[in-house]
Structure 1
Amino acid sequence: MHQEVLHKSEIKQKYRELAKQLHPDKKQTGDLAKFQELVQAYELLVDPNRRSYYIKSGYGWGSNAAHDRYPPGYRPASYTNAHWAGSPSTSSTLYTKNTTFISILAGIIVTIATANFFYFQTSHTTMLNAADQHHFKSSQDLKRARTEAKLFGNDRGVKRVIDSRMKQFRNKDNKEES
């Protein structure tokens, strides 16, 4: 039995001719089902690995060719030793969809922003209360100092200065004696 071996350029040329005739946009000769079959055949014939595997085993062609799994024990060369090349499992998904991921990420960002907003409000209020207390205490001290200055004049201030000088003098003497 003689098999005719077609080169990629010949396959591509014949594919283009048939694609022009069968394309669904062409009103007279267009046929979607035949066009899809043509595309499937072209993809099978252009890939040398898939073509030789199909010739040897018959796998890779059919209504679900795009979804066909390879038979047990066969992996194309590009899939060899790849952790993801095993049979697809339908029960669990390794990765989530982009919309789910974005929704979760947006929820986390909104939660963090809300927490930061309330933390800022609380810390700002606490800081303002502390500043108000400090200003109130300073105002009270200043008021007391003015009242004492009116009542006792400059005597208390002078006495305080003398006491601090005497303390420094005594500390200096104690250090020299040691």
Structure 2
Amino acid sequence: MAEVSTAVRRPKSLYEVLRVKETASVEEIKAGYRSMAKRFHPDVAPAAGGPDFLEIHRAYEMLSDPTARARYDLSIGRLGFRAAAPPRSRRWETDQCW
């Protein structure tokens, strides 16, 4: 009988680590993290949990922070327009408190 490995393969992106789409919402990223953490936490899977869990945790840290996620998206060649707010133009007339 062949053994089934539950180890995380070396993914191409942090999205693949959490097994979510690149368009995933913050809630979907959190759900992906929780799902993977339940499988690979060192208390649950001591043999394979350590390094895999650290990779999962690092992916969640990066993707759960909107600024870090936008930088990561740009670094992998994905436009991160949805994560970063467009710059707000300010006008002197509208910024005054009368």
Q: Which has the larger radius of gyration?
A: 1
1:24 corresponds in structure 2 to: 42
* Displaced runs of 4 or more, over 6 A: none
Which residue, 27, 37, 47 being the options, matches 1:9?
Answer: 27
* Structure number with higher relative contact order (C-alpha < 8 Å, ≥ 6 residues apart): 2
Shift of 1:29: 6.9
Structure 1 unaligned regions, length at least 5:
59-178
Preserved contact between residue 39 and residue 45 of structure 2 (Cα < 8 Å): no
Output one character per residue of 1:103-156: Cα deviation in whole Å (capped at 9) or x when no partner: xxxxxxxxxxxxxxxxxxxxxxxxxxxxxxxxxxxxxxxxxxxxxxxxxxxxxx
Q: TM-score, normalised to structure 2's length?
A: 0.50
User: Where do residues 1-178 of structure 1 align in structure 2 (5 Å cutoff)?
Assistant: 4-27=22-45, 30-58=48-76
Structure 2 unaligned regions, length at least 5:
1-20, 77-98
- Name the Cα RMSD after superposition: 2.0
Letter in 2 for 1:17: S
Shift of 1:19: 0.2
- Against the structure 1 CA distance between its residues 21 and 30, is the aligned structure 2 distance closer, same or farther, given a 3 Å change threshold? farther
Shift of 1:11: 0.6
How far apart, in 1, do the equivalents of 2:64 and 2:48 lie?
A: 23
Report the number of matched residues: 56
Preserved contact between residue 22 and residue 29 of structure 1 (Cα < 8 Å): no
Preserved contact between residue 62 and residue 68 of structure 2 (Cα < 8 Å): yes
When you count helix as a share of all residues, which structure comes out higher?
A: 1
Q: TM-score, normalised to structure 1's length?
A: 0.29
